[in-house]
Amino acid sequence: MTGHNVISTEVKCLIGQLKHCTHNSLFRRQEVVRDKPMIAEFKIRWPGLLTVAEVEAEFVRITTAPLVSKFLAQLDHHTAQLIKVFKKKGGSAGRKIAIILAPITQNETVEKRRECILRALCVYLNEDPNILFKEYLDSDATAVERELEQVILGIYSINVEGGDATTPPADVGIVIEGVGVLHDLGDIASACALLMGVIYALNLSYPQELKYFFEVLQKLFLQLDACRLSTKVQILKNKLYE
């Protein structure tokens, strides 16, 4: 067999594999949208999808847009202006935001800055960050597991007992319907991006109590369906471009 024939055979094989993968992805997508399986059932039927790489790949298949890289880039792009907007917020929300942003002065890592911005964003939008972000200590794994079983949709961080503001968390992950979906994600902002990917992959609805927060993540950070904004998010967008 000539070298040309070998290459042609390999190309045909790759094309066949690509068509097979695409068909499987479309079939799975149809099942997810139609049947809306519970998370526990989803993990049994498609265990390979619930990995960081596959969540990112599925997001690209659905939206044609990158996930984590775009999310973090847009978050960083808007950070300076977001801080200016946050600092103009008055009342109890303004005081809460000041407390949330304070750790940035103790821990100057980009991961901590992004986390504080996302938490403050919730408060700025008059939503409760504690609905989404769950914090625990690593001293009682059994208690943590028991509490996570009650979480409908959340991002958890397990902090090192005795650590300070500069100590990275022992674990950061995503839980849906009381089931751990992803873990060891490193930081809260990456977990937020991947949560968006999981929501798209599983065709989930945003929590009503956090609808404006997730609208910002989708439409301002990921720039998906960005032409149709609620009044509240439109006002925020206008302030970001002042």
Are 181 and 50 within 8 A, CB to CB?
yes
How far is 189 from 110, CA to CA, in rounded Å? 10
Three-state secondary structure call for residue 164: coil
Angle of helix 52-63 versus helix 188-202 axis, rounded to 10: 60
Three-state secondary structure call for residue 173: strand
How far is 173 from 165, CA to CA, in rounded Å? 19
Residue 19 has pLDDT above 60, yes or no: no
Strands 153-159 and 133-137 turn out to be parallel
Please give the full DSSP string across 4-46, using - where no structure is assigned.
Answer: HHHHHHHHHHHHHHHHHHHHHHHHHHHHHHHH---HHHHHHH-
Note the pLDDT tens digit of each residue in 50-85: 899 999 999 999 999 999 999 999 999 999 999 999
**pTM, 2 dp:** 0.85
Mean pLDDT of 4-11: 53
Q: In what order do the strands lie in the sheet with 153-159?
A: 133-137, 153-159, 171-176, 179-182
Closest to 68 in 3D by CA, of 241, 185, 170: 185
Note the pLDDT tens digit of each residue in 221-234: 999 999 999 999 99
Instruction: State the pLDDT confidence band at 27, using cuts at 50, 70 and 90.
Output: very low
Closest to 152 in 3D by CA, of 179, 133, 171, 130: 179
